[in-house]
Structure 1
Amino acid sequence: MKEVKLAGQMVPAIGIGTWHMGDDPTKEDQEIQAIRAGLDAGAKVVDTAEMYGDGNSETLVGQALAPYQRSEIYLISKVLPNNASQAQMEAHLDASLQRLQTDYLDLYLYHWRGNIPLAETIAELDRLKQTGKIRAWGVSNFDVPDLEELWQLPTGKNVAANENLYNLETRGIEFNLTDWQAEHELPLIAYSPVGGQHNELHTTMLINPVVQEIAAQHQVSPHEILLAWTIHAGNTIAIPQSSQVKHVAANVKAAEIELTPTELKQLDREYPSPDHRVPLAVN
């Protein structure tokens, strides 16, 4: 199973996303079982955020993780831009920790840039790391200019990851961001790697004949091929989200799929890498 180093820890390259989870009480048991199925299949990374369902996702994750050894989970959450100030961030972190039923996060991400000065947000993230409430901090939805600005800050190089929308059809970050991150040894966390649970991105990837043909050759689903593609470069962790037990377990196992050079070229022909800069995709 492919692994990636995240803040000094080796973790499986496919984790568990939880966006849109925790909002429907009738699905609570099913969603808890889905998260647990992913962990039981070998996942370690669980990604959530205070924004997701206004805390509902974190509450659900806390319930799902209750039977597990905390040290066996790599837990990520995110702070909203409006809450990322020196005055407010710790209180919001404490609220996330309470919902998650834990006393620390492995990684705390600045969800996207807002109006608070970046220097203030990063200084506070680094201070919170010193308290032990977070083991590492990172960013999300940052493009190259954002990372270059971050790199100039006194503690900016302590950043542990950047989380962005990335999949076979949405490859804009390959123009220069993925190379920048590889050069600076900054792991990428890819959200919506198969286009979202309900295909919010209206992608054609899952019904693409070439994707389906490669999936058939490997005797797996198109979802699994898309995940294997997302992590094939070696510096990326994919965090697909699903509420289906069977689906989540299969997603995790996709980290064992090796796509051949021929298959990668076939997929490139269907969804080429960009030859010009495009705006950062955000969902």
Structure 2
Amino acid sequence: MVKNIQSTVTLHNGVEMPWFGLGVYKVTDESEIVDVVAAALNYGYRHIDTASFYQNEEGVGKGIRKSEVPREDIFVTSKVWNDEQGYDETLEAFENSLRRLETTYLDLYLVHWPVAKKYTETWRALEKLYTEGRVRAIGVSNFHVHHLQHLMKNANIKPMVNQIEYHPHLTQGEVHAFCKNEGIQLEAWSPLKRGILLNEPVLIEIGKKYGKTPAQIILRWDLQTEVITIPKSSNLGRLVENADIFDFELTSEDLKQINALNKNKRVGMNPDDLDQK
């Protein structure tokens, strides 16, 4: 059982990654992002997930420095965007992310999407950064099984993480099983399906049993299905509410009911809609 907000999972390279974190997609106002990151860290969060595409890395860095938490105690993730992919381009993008964050290293660097004819070269750049100690772990985002298989045929280092859209309407069973078998840690983006799931009757009923909100039920389900979760919020009350999921445990019947909500419905793009290899 994941015991608290700072509990970690050990990635296949031995790095400890927090199960629970803060996503900051679409939080672009600098004062807002600074305040929310600092508040989250001071409350107990230790995992912040950003990306160059989010255009808020500078604010994330300022929020980290504004907080009372030392940088070495924080797990910071960023991602290389699609138009930055390729070997040399990725190395440059990485340096730009470090500069904006004002940090000397990242804890996790991800290939944001499997861009055709580029992601294997992008991965080669990530391997270089990893072997040089510039980043503690490397991984991918939005990769289906066939992307992972293709990448691993051409890679020297297996991805440590695959961050995908994952929620009760999109359980991605094939990707989940493949990653578990390969020792690749799954991570959920948009775990609440951008709020769409908060009116789901099954989740409301399960929540009543534990005195929890539908959002809290979903986030607890993430953890009990062995998926790292990074809900986004810029509201302090919601930050606290999202993290209040460590004092109960869903039953196997609860999990079965939630899993049965799967509709294979996305709110984001299907990675296969990109022009593939």
Q: TM-score range by the shorter chain?
A: 0.7 to 0.9
Q: In 2 relative to 1, CA 280–110 (structure 1 residues): closer, same or farther, beyond 3 Å?
A: closer
Q: How far is 1:213 from its partner?
A: 2.0
* Aligned partners of 1:82 and 1:116 also within 8 Å: no
Q: Does 1:217 align with 2:209?
A: yes
Unaligned stretches of 5+ residues in structure 1: none
| Structure 2, unpaired ranges of 5+ | 265-269
Partner of 1:183: 181
Pick 1 or 2: higher relative contact order, CA cutoff 8 A, min separation 6: 1
Q: What's the TM-score, normalizing by structure 2?
A: 0.86
Q: Could you list the structure 1 runs, at least 4 aligned residues long, displaced by more than 4 angstroms after superposition.
A: 279-282
CA distance in 2 between partners of 1:188 and 1:180 (Å): 10
TM-score using structure 1 length: 0.84
C-alpha displacement of 1:36: 2.9
Structure 1 vs Structure 2 CA RMSD: 2.1
Instruction: Note the alpha carbon deviations across 1:62-98, whole angstroms, 9 max, x for none.
Output: 1110032111011100001221222222221111111
Work out which of the residue numbers 204, 220, 223 in structure 2 matches 1:231: 223
* Conserved? CA contact 1:12–1:42, under 8 Å: no
The answer on whether the counterparts of 1:41 and 1:253 sit within 8 Å (CA) in structure 2 is no
2:34 matches 1:43: no
Tell me the equivalent position of 1:64.
63
Partner AA of 1:224 in structure 2 = Q
Give the corresponding residue for 1:32: 34
8 A Cα contact 1:81 1:116, kept in partner: no
How many Å separate the matches in 2 of 1:281 and 1:255?
36
Q: Which residue pairs with 1:146 in the alignment?
A: 147
Identity %: 30
Distance in 2, Cα, partners of 1:91 & 1:177:
30
> Given residue 191 of structure 2, which amino acid in structure 1 is its aligned partner?
P
State which drifts further: 62-71 or 251-260: 251-260
1:8 alignment partner AA: G
Question: Does residue 1:121 correspond to 2:122, yes or no?
Answer: yes
> 1:14 aligned to 2:16?
no
Question: Residues of 2 paired with 1:133 and 1:11: CA distance?
Answer: 17
One-letter code of the match for 1:192? S
